[in-house]
């Protein structure tokens, strides 16, 4: 099922509000127009109204682009519905463009026949020229295939707010909230939570707060009045059927931060996080830094090498050492990861992937570091690799990473990406006391202690931290004797140690869930296999095709190293395996090499997430429609 | 942490491991190892609370020979690993052992930042003015003209002064000694250990294989008196055979000169008095080069400031204990939430 195009106003007149199953709204304007704030407020009330949703903020790459330019356009997209919503939506049904540049940049995304709401007051000769328009698109017929709602929002906002005694400049800044009021009316949203929020946000300047609230009410009233003439359609989107519980919205960055803290709590360890700023990984550093009062240590290192090494030092000293970066930074950490593998210390490394190579498209998303995570090191240096499939999944993935790292004394790489890091989804808030703890036991008994004696089940060596009397020992990157840890150049010992380091992954494989099929049958014509943030579009595409009777299944991997032990056998039960990835085909290579299955890739590397339609089309091309 | 005190006071031997020491016979590293072991015994250090972290190089094999905790890490990165250790457990006595290539070539950036941040570590830079482990290439401290496999006709680069670098990076304890000067070295190391914050000690270390006698001009017995000055805080700067020479400021200039006491009306009262808290003075002393001026040894600069670990712990009220389940539940429920009922 695809999101339906919005019906015409004639249809909406017959009934007070036209019910819709799901809608995509995109807010766009100049960086200074408060677009992110507007979008986030809309998301908050939409969540409160019980819809499922996914949001995606689309910031300009420039920090402060000149006003009115196309490269200074900031956008925020939200997909919400009465059914499960897995992506921020292929194409908007409604586009709000607060200036000509926003219209210019964003119009191409809008669905044919979609609604475009513009602030006609922001369209003048100068702003049109800045946006690169030769003629005024509001008058030259170029918007004929859309439903244009042109309102002089600037003027209406000024008329409402200025009389309260607000300056012209400040009054005009309320126009995003006026627009929000109008969109609230269109979708029957409650204004009260936003009014309360505005009061809190502008607690220091009550005049600005009341100006914004007046604008919100005025935009809403405008919709109400216009309804009578049928100019502005009203819709209703029923609550989605979510599992009962307490919910909030959460971005991938937040979920990772909280998952790491929760993981350290379950392990009974202090969390030590070291990082060096890089887009789009910095939100994690910011989020964890704000948790210092909860005993989280954060350290902004001089570079990525220092960050990973400080985390290794922290783990050596008995904390849960964590570091994070994006692709270029992971490359810098490579040598130290070899040390962590050799020293056999727990370590979690988060890689929020972005489009590469080199600086690439730093603000755009990609999944092109899988091979780097799996193999991008010197020597044979096996480690565990996990991937989060969405914003809320980051929480559990982070906990799983801490569990594996501490139980097996091994580094774990967690793959996220620019899309997941910033996208927000509703999340059923877990009760921490209901999660299973995995407390770490440091070695304290000197009797029979050997630094590389291993646990029979996990092959983990003892974690013996400095400060423990009687366990003084030396470790390092040189090959070590398989028991005493003393430097050893013995050929048989190196073979044995290399085999053991690899075998640890086999042991982890026995300790992770068997791979399940998320949608569809456990055998059949086609399995779509994904990892990471392709989860949203794959899941939506496969769910609708299964509903339409197609024989297709969705398998999504969280564990990429080691792979679940039943995966090969599972994949062989399908005639065709299709692997959509935002790279040139990395997982597909691995699956073919590992299992000799004829997996095919579906590859997109444009810096943009997959559209549901693209995946549907690829599936149908293989199944025949 | 419970520490079981030994009945007998520890001796240097108690800090030695059973590992066979693999340095070349005659290498200066042996003497430094001996001095460090003696110093720890003298101060009755707790081996369980002592950690040696090193990078890569001949010098960086050091931790294997110490009966303490030890971590032989990767080339140039020891300061960063040590920073992680110290921030997690401020109770530990953490030492960094590094070479001139390790600290100033590949690890230059980290040395800069560990000093600037003033992490409470002792950093021992074994300066042999050569890459030993990789078989004798010139290093960033090699003097111009050093002949080596990668500079067969003599290096053309200008060397960096480790002490000058440390002062420039904001180091708050900067000292210098020589591998063979056992008593002096042990004394300097004790002061480094007592200092709260990053303590930087450059130790001239003879590489008998690739750069033998490069420091002979001020370390050999017959020239030592004339070409060394052992700095003592609060004491006039006297050196030379029988204390016959001294240092003073050239009148009207920010420049040090060596003078002979009793000649040209110079008396001890005219000499500079060492003040370890005087940073500009430390800079002048660091720049002194024999034979024109004596090599300055001892603590050139010591002016304690809040160390990183303590700044973090004090300033932000950071605590060690992980959060409780209640605190985490509260965190997860902060901000806008809503309930979906069955
Ligand atoms: C990443 C990396 N690059 C290069 C090397 C090779 N390497 C090992 S030690 C060393 C230089 C050591 O010189 P120094 O720090 O002066 O120590 P010394 O051996 O003289 O004590 C080099 C280049 C390495 N181990 N790792
Ligand atoms: S090469 Fe030089 S520094 Fe290295 S062990 Fe031999 S003498 Fe010492």
Q: In terms of Cα–Cα distance, which of A57, A53, A60, A44 is closest to A24? A: A53
Ligand 1: nearest atom to the Cα of B98: 15
A528 backbone dihedrals φ, ψ, rounded to 5°: -100, 120
Give residue-wise pLDDT tens across range A459-518: 999 999 999 999 999 999 999 999 999 999 999 999 999 999 999 999 999 999 999 999
> How does DSSP classify residue A84?
-
CB within 8 Å of chain A, chain B residues 270-329: 312, 316-325, 327-329
Q: How far apart are CA A370 and CA A385, in angstroms?
A: 9
B109 with A302: CB under 8 angstroms? yes
Distance from the alpha carbon of residue A342 to the mean position of ligand 1, in angstroms: 19
Nearest ligand to the C-alpha atom of residue B74: 1
Contacts of A438 in chain B (CB under 8 A): none
Distance from the alpha carbon of residue B74 to the mean position of ligand 1, in angstroms: 9
Asked if residue B140 has its Cβ within 6 Å of ligand 2, the reply is no
Q: Would the pLDDT of B199 be above 70?
A: yes
Contacts of B83 in chain A (CB under 8 A): 299, 306, 310, 313
H or E segment to which residue A305 belongs: helix A304-316
Angle at A308 between CA A306 and CA A312, to 5 degrees: 110
Q: How far apart are CA A177 and CA A210, in angstroms?
A: 12
Q: Would the pLDDT of B225 be above 80?
A: yes
Contact B322 A268 (CB under 8 A): yes
A340 touches chain B (CB under 8 A): no
For residue A8, the model assigns a pLDDT of: 46
Residue of A250, A293, A313, A341 to mutate, testing the B interface (most B Cβ within 10 Å of its Cβ): A313
Find the mean pLDDT for residues B166-170: 98
Nearest ligand to the C-alpha atom of residue B106: 1
Nearest ligand to the C-alpha atom of residue B133: 1
Distance from the alpha carbon of residue B207 to the mean position of ligand 2, in angstroms: 5
Q: Would the pLDDT of A11 be above 70?
A: no
Contacts of B85 in chain A (CB under 8 A): 313-314, 316-317, 466
Cα–chain center distance at A465: 36
For residue A231, the model assigns a pLDDT of: 80
Distance from the alpha carbon of residue B166 to the mean position of ligand 2, in angstroms: 24
Nearest ligand to the C-alpha atom of residue B56: 1
B9 touches chain A (CB under 8 A): no
Distance from the alpha carbon of residue B58 to the mean position of ligand 2, in angstroms: 6
> How does DSSP classify residue A568?
H
For residue A125, the model assigns a pLDDT of: 96
Find the mean pLDDT for residues B15-39: 97
> How does DSSP classify residue B89?
-
A117 with A136: CB under 8 angstroms? no
For residue A62, the model assigns a pLDDT of: 76
3-state SS record for A319-365: CEEEEEECHHHHHHHHHHHHHHHHHCCCEEEEEEECECCCCCECCCC
Contact A475 B84 (CB under 8 A): no
Q: How far apart are CA B134 and CA A372, in angstroms?
A: 29
B176 with B123: CB under 8 angstroms? no
DSSP string, B93-139: EEEEEEEHHIIIIITHHHHHHHHHHT-S-EEEEEE-SSBTTTTSB--
H or E segment to which residue B249 belongs: strand B245-249
Asked if residue B134 has its Cβ within 6 Å of ligand 1, the reply is yes
Q: Would the pLDDT of A2 be above 60?
A: no
3-state SS record for A548-567: CCCCEEEEEECEEECCCCCH
> How does DSSP classify residue B151?
B
Identify whether B305 is preceded by a cis peptide bond (ω within 30 of 0): no
Sequence-distant (6+) residues with CB within 8 A of A64 are A31
Q: How far apart are CA A212 and CA A162, in angstroms?
A: 11
Q: In terms of Cα–Cα distance, which of B256, B288, B286, B294 is closest to B272? A: B256
B124 with B60: CB under 8 angstroms? no
Q: Would the pLDDT of A7 be above 70?
A: no
Closest residue in A to B65 (Cα–Cα)? A474
For residue B9, the model assigns a pLDDT of: 85
Cα–chain center distance at A154: 34
For residue B342, the model assigns a pLDDT of: 77
Ligand 1: nearest atom to the Cα of B60: 21
A245 touches chain B (CB under 8 A): yes
Q: How far apart are CA A579 and CA A556, in angstroms?
A: 10
Q: Would the pLDDT of B329 be above 80?
A: yes
Find the mean pLDDT for residues B210-217: 98
- Pocket probe mutation, ligand 1, options B75, B78, B98, max atoms within 8 Å of Cβ: B75
DSSP string, B5-58: PPSSPP-GGGGB-SSPP-SPTT-HHHHHHHHHHHHHHHTT--GGGEEEEE-SSS
Taking the CA of residue A426 and the nearest CA in chain B, the distance in Å comes to 9
Q: How far apart are the first and last CA of chain A?
A: 15
Give residue-wise pLDDT tens across range A179-231: 999 999 999 999 999 999 999 999 999 999 999 999 999 999 999 998 766 78
Contacts of B329 in chain A (CB under 8 A): 431-433
In chain A, pLDDT over 90 holds for what percent of residues?
93
Asked if residue B197 has its Cβ within 6 Å of ligand 1, the reply is no
pTM for the whole structure: 0.95
Q: In terms of Cα–Cα distance, which of B128, B65, B67 is closest to B98? A: B128
Coil, helix or strand for A268?
A: coil
Distance from the alpha carbon of residue B135 to the mean position of ligand 1, in angstroms: 9
Contact A269 B1 (CB under 8 A): no
Taking the CA of residue A528 and the nearest CA in chain B, the distance in Å comes to 32
Among A50, A261, A265, the residue with its CB nearest the CB of B340 is A50
Mean per-residue pLDDT over chain B, rounded: 95
For residue A4, the model assigns a pLDDT of: 36
Q: How far apart are CA A390 and CA A312, in angstroms?
A: 28
Contact A477 B72 (CB under 8 A): yes
A268 touches chain B (CB under 8 A): yes
Contact B89 A318 (CB under 8 A): yes
Find the mean pLDDT for residues A14-25: 86
A476 touches chain B (CB under 8 A): yes
Q: How far apart are CA A43 and CA A249, in angstroms?
A: 9
Give residue-wise pLDDT tens across range A153-171: 999 999 999 999 999 999 9
Taking the CA of residue B182 and the nearest CA in chain A, the distance in Å comes to 26
Closest residue in A to B336 (Cα–Cα)? A248
Confidence of residue A12 (pLDDT cuts 50, 70, 90): very low
- Pocket probe mutation, ligand 1, options B32, B57, B148, max atoms within 8 Å of Cβ: B57
Distance from the alpha carbon of residue B29 to the mean position of ligand 1, in angstroms: 15
Ligand 1: nearest atom to the Cα of B105: 15
Give residue-wise pLDDT tens across range A39-78: 999 999 999 999 999 999 988 777 778 999 999 999 999 9
Coil, helix or strand for A456?
A: coil
B69 touches chain A (CB under 8 A): yes
Q: In terms of Cα–Cα distance, which of A329, A412, A419 is closest to A366? A: A419
A334 touches chain B (CB under 8 A): no
Q: How far apart are CA A588 and CA A593, in angstroms?
A: 9
Among B48, B73, B331, the residue with its CB nearest the CB of A339 is B73
Here the ipTM equals: 0.96
Give residue-wise pLDDT tens across range A284-317: 999 999 998 899 999 999 999 999 999 999 999 9
Q: Would the pLDDT of B69 be above 60?
A: yes
Task: Count Cβ neighbours within 10 Å for each residue of A145-165 and write b for 16 or more, e otherwise.
Answer: ebbebebebbebbbebbbeee
B17 touches chain A (CB under 8 A): yes
Asked if residue B75 has its Cβ within 6 Å of ligand 1, the reply is yes
Coil, helix or strand for A489?
A: coil
Rg (CA), chain B: 23
Q: How far apart are CA B142 and CA B129, in angstroms?
A: 5
| Residue ranges in A355-417 assigned as alpha helix (H) | 370-375, 393-408
A578 with A529: CB under 8 angstroms? yes
Angle at A133 between CA A128 and CA A139, to 5 degrees: 80
Contacts of A429 in chain B (CB under 8 A): 332-333, 337
Confidence of residue A1 (pLDDT cuts 50, 70, 90): very low
């Amino acid at each position: 099922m695809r999101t339906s195009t919005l019906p015409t106003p004639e249809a909406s007149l017959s009934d007070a509000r036209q019910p819709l199953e799901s809608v995509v709204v995109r807010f766009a304007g100049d960086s200074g127009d408060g677009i992110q704030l507007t979008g986030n407020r809309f998301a908050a009330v939409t969540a409160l109204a019980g819809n499922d949703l996914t949001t995606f903020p689309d910031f300009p790459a420039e920090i402060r682009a000149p006003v009115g330019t196309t490269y200074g356009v900031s956008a925020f997209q939200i997909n919400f519905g009465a059914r499960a919503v897995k992506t921020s939506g292929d194409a908007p049904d409604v586009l709000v463009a607060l200036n000509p540049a926003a219209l210019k940049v964003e119009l191409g995304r809008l669905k044919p026949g979609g609604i475009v709401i513009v602030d006609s007051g922001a369209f003048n000769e100068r702003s049109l020229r800045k946006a690169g328009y030769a003629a005024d698109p509001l008058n030259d017929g170029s918007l004929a295939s859309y439903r244009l709602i042109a309102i002089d929002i600037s003027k209406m906002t000024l008329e409402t707010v200025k009389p309260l005694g607000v300056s012209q400049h400040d009054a005009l800044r309320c126009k995003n909230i006026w627009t929000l009021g109008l969109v609230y009316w269109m979708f029957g949203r409650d204004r009260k939570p936003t009014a309360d929020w505005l009061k809190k946000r502008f607690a220091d300047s009550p005049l600005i707060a009341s100006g914004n609230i007046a604008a919100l009410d005025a935009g809403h009233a405008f919709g109400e009045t216009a309804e009578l003439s049928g100019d502005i359609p009203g819709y209703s989107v029923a609550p989605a059927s979510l599992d009962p519980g307490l919910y909030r919205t959460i971005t991938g960055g937040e979920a990772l931060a909280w998952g790491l803290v929760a993981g350290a709590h379950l392990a009974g360890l202090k969390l030590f996080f070291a990082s060096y700023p890089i887009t789009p990984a910095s939100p994690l550093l910011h989020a964890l830094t704000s948790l210092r009062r909860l005993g989280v240590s954060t350290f902004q290192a001089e570079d990525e090498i220092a960050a990973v090494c400080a985390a290794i030092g922290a783990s050596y000293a008995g904390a849960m050492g964590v570091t994070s970066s994006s692709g270029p930074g992971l490359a810098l950490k490579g040598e130290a990861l070899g040390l962590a593998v050799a020293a056999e210390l727990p370590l979690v490394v988060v890689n929020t992937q972005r489009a590469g190579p080199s600086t690439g498209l730093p603000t755009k998303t990609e999944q092109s570091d899988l091979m780097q995570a799996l193999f991008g090191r010197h020597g044979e240096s096996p480690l565990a690799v996990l991937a989060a499939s969405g914003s809320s999944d980051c929480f559990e993935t982070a906990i799983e990473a801490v569990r594996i790292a501490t139980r097996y004394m091994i580094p774990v790489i967690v793959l996220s990406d620019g899309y997941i890091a910033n996208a927000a989804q509703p999340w059923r808030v877990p009760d921490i006391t209901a999660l299973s703890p995995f407390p770490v036991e440091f070695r304290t008994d000197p009797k029979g202690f050997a630094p590389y004696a291993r646990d029979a089940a996990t092959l983990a060596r003892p974690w013996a931290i400095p400060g423990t009397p009687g366990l003084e020992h030396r470790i390092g990157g040189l090959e070590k004797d398989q028991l005493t840890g003393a430097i050893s150049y013995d050929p048989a010992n190196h073979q044995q140690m290399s085999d053991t380091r690899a075998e640890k992954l086999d042991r982890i494989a026995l300790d992770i869930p068997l791979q399940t099929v998320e949608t569809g049958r456990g055998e059949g014509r086609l399995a779509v296999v994904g990892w990471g943030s392709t989860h949203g579009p794959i899941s939506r595409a496969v769910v609708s095709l299964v509903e339409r009777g197609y024989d297709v299944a969705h398998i999504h991997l969280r564990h990429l190293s080691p792979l679940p032990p039943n995966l090969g056998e599972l994949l062989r039960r399908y005639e065709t395996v299709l692997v959509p990835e935002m790279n040139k085909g990395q997982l597909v290579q691995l699956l073919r090499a590992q299992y000799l299955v004829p997996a095919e890739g579906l590859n997109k590397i444009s810096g943009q997430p997959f559209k549901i339609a693209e995946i549907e089309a690829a599936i149908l091309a293989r199944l025949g429609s | 942490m419970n520490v079981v005190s030994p009945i007998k006071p520890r001796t240097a031997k108690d800090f030695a491991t059973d590992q066979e020491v693999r340095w070349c016979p005659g290498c200066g590293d042996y003497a430094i190892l001996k001095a460090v072991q003696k110093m720890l015994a003298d101060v009755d250090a707790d081996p369980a609370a002592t950690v040696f972290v090193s990078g890569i190089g001949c010098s960086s094999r050091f931790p294997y020979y110490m009966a303490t905790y030890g971590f032989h890490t990767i080339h140039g990165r020891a300061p960063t690993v040590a920073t992680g250790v110290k921030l997690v457990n401020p109770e530990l006595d953490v030492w960094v052992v590094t070479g001139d290539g390790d600290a100033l070539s590949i690890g230059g950036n980290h040395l800069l930042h560990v000093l600037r941040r003033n992490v409470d570590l002792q950093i021992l830079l074994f300066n042999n003015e050569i890459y030993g482990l990789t078989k004798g290439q010139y290093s960033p401290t090699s003097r111009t003209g050093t002949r080596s496999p990668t500079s067969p006709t003599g290096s053309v680069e200008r060397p960096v002064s480790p002490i000058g670098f440390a002062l420039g990076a904001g180091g708050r304890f900067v000292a210098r000694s020589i591998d063979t000067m056992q008593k002096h070295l042990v004394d300097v190391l004790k002061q480094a250990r007592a200092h709260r914050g990053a303590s930087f000690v450059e130790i001239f270390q003879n590489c008998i294989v690739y750069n033998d006698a490069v420091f002979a001009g001020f370390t050999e017995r017959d020239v030592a008196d004339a070409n060394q000055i052992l700095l003592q805080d609060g004491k006039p700067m006297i050196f030379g055979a029988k204390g016959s020479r001294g240092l003073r400021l050239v009148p009207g200039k920010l420049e040090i000169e060596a003078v002979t006491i009793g000649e040209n009306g110079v008396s001890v009262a005219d000499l500079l008095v060492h003040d370890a808290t005087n940073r500009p003075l430390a800079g002048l002393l660091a720049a002194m080069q024999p034979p024109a001026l004596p090599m300055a040894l001892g603590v050139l600069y010591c002016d304690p400031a809040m160390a990183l670990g303590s700044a973090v712990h004090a300033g932000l009220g950071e605590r060690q204990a992980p959060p409780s389940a209640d605190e985490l539940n509260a965190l997860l429920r902060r901000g806008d939430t809503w309930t979906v009922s069955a």
